[in-house]
Amino acid sequence: MSPKSTHPQSSNSPLVARRALRDGVYDAILEKLLDGSTPPGSSLGIDSLARELGVSPTPVREALVQMEHTGLVNRVALKGYKVAPPLSPEQVTELFDARIMLELGAVERAVAHTEDLVPELRAAHARHVLAAHRVRKLRGGDATATDNSDLREYFAADWAFHLLIIQAARNRFMAAMAESLSAHVHRMRQTVDHGTFDIDQAIAEHTAILAAFESGDPEAPARAMRTHLEGVERRSLDDA
């Protein structure tokens, strides 16, 4: 009798394929939550989502259960799932408390890798500035944007700037915490009135963070990051 195989499970196994499908469905539903097509309070039908995504109801149900755990959707008895309501002022405050603790800790660690970080941070800041220019161009004066793709690009560039600093801390658990917070950061932005923006302030504050890293002062980046996060929190609460 031949011995039992001790090889690890094949990457083509049904279990791995199912997980990959569930993760893909999760990402697709998350994009719907963040692109403005399913605003807070919208119903999320499992069968209709399955038809739209071309999958069976099972991975849709699994993805929604996962989203319920993160607070992005709520399950209502006898009514299925709904997109969670906008963050309350208390939740916004808690979110920024978490961001300040995480990002200031990341900045303090990233300072040791400033030489490697600064060139990438300059490039990320340039992309953020270009995305901001596109928003101003499409939404300034009498111009009217036909969708929210410009905002999604802007917010993605904004978050990418922060994520570079978090990754420069070289701590995998900090990076995982940032990934967990990212959906809630984007969700918070959905609650802000699309007619008012803090683009100019955010660009100026990112410029100050970049300059702080370039200065060589090891304490300057943390001060600049705190000023930025506290400013974003204040503006978010004013618009909530």
Cβ atoms of 205 and 231 within 8 Å: the answer is yes
Rounded Cα–Cα distance for residues 63 and 55 (Å)? 12
Cβ atoms of 185 and 229 within 8 Å: the answer is no
DSSP summary character for residue 85: P
Rounded Cα–Cα distance for residues 228 and 203 (Å)? 10
Domains and CATH numbers, the chain: 14-83 (1.10.10.10), 89-239 (1.20.120.530)
The one-letter code for the residue type at 141 is: G
Residue carrying the six token digits 């915490």: 177
Report the pLDDT value the prediction gives residue 204, as an integer from 0 to 100: 97
Report the pLDDT value the prediction gives residue 146, as an integer from 0 to 100: 55
Is 0.85 topped by the overall pTM?
no
The mean pLDDT values, 10 residues at a time, for the chain of 240 residues are 48 68 87 79 93 93 89 87 90 95 98 98 98 86 61 89 97 94 80 64 97 97 98 85
Report the pLDDT value the prediction gives residue 194, as an integer from 0 to 100: 47
Report the pLDDT value the prediction gives residue 131, as an integer from 0 to 100: 93
Rounded Cα–Cα distance for residues 202 and 112 (Å)? 25
